[in-house]
Amino acid sequence: MTTPAYAAVDWGTSSFRLWLMDPAGRILAERRSGEGMTSAAKMGFPQVLESHLQAVEAAADLPVIICGMAGARQGWIEAGYVDVPALLPAVLSGAVEVPQVNRKIHILPGLAQRAREAPDVMRGEETQLLGALDGSEPSGEQIVCMPGTHSKWVHLSGETVSGFSTYMTGELFEVVSKHSVLAHSLADAGSVDGDQPVFTAAVRAAFKAPQRLTNLLFTVRSGMLLAELTATDAAARLSGVLIGAEIAGGLSSSGSQAASIGLVASGRLRGLYEGAFAAVSLPFTPIDADEAVRAGLSAAARQILPLQLQRTT
């Protein structure tokens, strides 16, 4: 059996993912839970991590590489930010080692955009970017879309992140669908797919006229009252309007054109954004988000833990 070389952890605000990795970056075991930063701050970050490491029978001295919100100010140990413009590999040099623990644990920093008119931050996505570009020789201008609760649109020039912008698309969907006048329209909604006609029509409408965002949002309610939208169609319209406006804003904020947009996503979100991009005729290259973050954490392990990796080969 292959000896584990390290554990790779993506620690978000509301989710925890751990992979036990071999020296070549292959997965030996996996753990997922809802013990993100919010709950881990109450339970104790060391306790949450060790419980998962014990579950996969990790050795007591197995090193760990972590990205995401564990490095936030409210997290385990603040890992700070690397300022953009920045070469993506520079993220690795900013890793912080957790003190007073019985194993080597490193937390990767985030990226910060300190422009007064457009301040922005990211944590976790920088590791996905690193993984998405790992092994390639990027050149020229690139745009990368990273959907999520807070979607990121990143502009790269080769390996340099020159700027990025955050869109609260997922959080807005949650808030509007549960705590606004639209909540009644969405109470019994089913799942939404990226090829539903109501969804794609809403994407096109918001992409064409993002300045009408709040008006288009209200048509979720008026459409149900006057045009007999079903609850699922209402959810599809809400999702399409928010994603269409995000795409318009993301392209505008990038300040450049690219031959194809890199779409770093997995699961249901990937299907929605693939449908949205197709609806407005935007070429894109899909990149699996889980694979990207693991590749980024593996790149970090190769730089931060070279001696440990050599001993396990």
Report residue 192's pLDDT band, with 50, 70 and 90 as the boundaries. Answer: very high
How many angstroms separate the CA atoms of 267 and 254, rounded? Answer: 25
Average pLDDT, rounded, for the chain: 93
pLDDT digits (tens, 9 = 90+) for 61-115: 999 999 999 999 999 999 999 999 999 888 898 999 999 999 999 999 999 999 9
Cα four-point dihedral sign 167, 173, 174, 180: positive
Residue with tokens 């954490």: 297
Indicate the burial class of 152 (C-beta count within 10 angstroms; 0-12, 13-18, 19 or more): buried
Residue type at 31 in one-letter notation = R
Is 81 in a helix, a strand, or coil? strand
Half-sphere exposure of 21 (CA within 13 A, CB side): 29
Q: How far is CA 157 from CA 51, 52, 163, 194, 249, in A?
A: 41, 38, 10, 30, 19
Predicted local confidence at residue 113, as pLDDT: 97
How many angstroms separate the CA atoms of 116 and 139, rounded? Answer: 28
Predicted local confidence at residue 256, as pLDDT: 60
Q: How far is CA 190 from CA 126, 149, 171, 195, 311, in A?
A: 33, 19, 19, 14, 51
Q: Is residue 54 within a helix (H) or strand (E), and if so which, with residue range? A: helix 45-55
* Domains of the chain and any CATH numbers: 6-124+297-311 (3.30.420.300), 167-288 (3.30.420.310)
How many angstroms separate the CA atoms of 289 and 13, rounded? Answer: 17
Residue of higher predicted confidence among 64 and 305: 64
pLDDT digits (tens, 9 = 90+) for 111-140: 999 999 999 999 999 999 999 987 677 678
How many angstroms separate the CA atoms of 44 and 65, rounded? Answer: 18
How many angstroms separate the CA atoms of 40 and 48, rounded? Answer: 6
Is 130 in a helix, a strand, or coil? helix
Element counts in the chain: helices (H) and strands (E): 11, 15
Note the Cα 68 to chain centre separation in Å: 9
Q: Please give the DSSP secondary-structure letter assigned to residue 244.
A: H
Task: Give me the mean pLDDT over the 241-256 stretch.
Answer: 90
DSSP, residue by residue, 261-307: EEEEE-HHHHHHHHHHHHHTT--EEEEEHHHHHHHHHHHHHHHH-HH
CA trace torsion 252, 256, 260, 263 (10° rounding): -50
Detail the DSSP E strand segments found in the chain.
6-11, 16-21, 27-33, 64-68, 81-83, 86-87, 96-97, 105-107, 110-113, 120-122, 141-146, 151-157, 160-167, 261-265, 284-288
pTM of the model: 0.92
Report residue 45's pLDDT band, with 50, 70 and 90 as the boundaries. Answer: very high
90-126 as b/e, with b when 16 or more CB fall inside 10 Å?
Answer: bbbebbbebeeeebbbbbbbbbbbeeeeeebbbbbbb
pLDDT digits (tens, 9 = 90+) for 5-16: 999 999 999 899
What are the backbone angles phi and psi of residue 255, rounded to the nearest 5°? 70, 10
Report residue 255's pLDDT band, with 50, 70 and 90 as the boundaries. Answer: low
Q: Please give the DSSP secondary-structure letter assigned to residue 141.
A: E
Predicted local confidence at residue 227, as pLDDT: 85
How many angstroms separate the CA atoms of 75 and 13, rounded? Answer: 9
